[in-house]
A = this chain, B = another copy of it.
Amino acid sequence: MVWQHTDTLPARGQTDRYPTRLDRPAPHVDRADPTAWGQIRSKELSTFEADGFSVLDGLLRPDEVSEFSGEIDRLAGDSALRADDRFIVEKASNRVRSIFEVHKISPMIAELVREERIVGLAREVLGSEVYIHQSRVNYMPGFRGAGFYWHSDFETWHAEDGMPAPRAVSLSIALTDNFAVNGSLMVMPGSQRTFVPCLGSTPADHYRESLQEQEIGVPSNGDITTLAHRYGITQFTGEAGAALLFDSNVMHASANNITPFARSNIFLVFNSVENTLVEPYAAPARRPEYVASRDFTPLRG
Contacts and interface: CB of A to CB of B under 8 A. Distances in A.
A290 interface: no
A235 interface: yes
B233 A147 contact: no
Nearest to A261: B228
A179 interface: yes
Given A180-B235, A256-B256, 8 more contacts: A147-B256, A150-B258, A179-B233, A181-B255, A221-B260, A228-B259, A228-B260, A255-B257
Interface residues of A, number: 25
Interface in A129-176: 142-143, 147, 149-150
A253 interface: yes
A225 interface: yes
A285 interface: no
Interface of A: 142-143, 147, 149-150, 179-181, 183, 186, 221, 224-225, 228-229, 233, 235, 253, 255-261
A258 B180 CA distance: 14
Complex copy number for this chain: 2
Contact of A255 (B221, B228, B255, B261): B255
A144 to B, nearest CB: 9
A2 B188 CA distance: 47
Contact of A181 (B179, B235, B257): B235
Nearest to A141: B221
6 contacts: A147-B256, A181-B235, A183-B255, A233-B259, A255-B256, A256-B256
Given A233-B181, A255-B181, A255-B255, A260 B224 contact: yes
A221 B143 contact: yes
Contacts of A259: 186, 224, 228, 233
A189 to B, nearest CB: 13
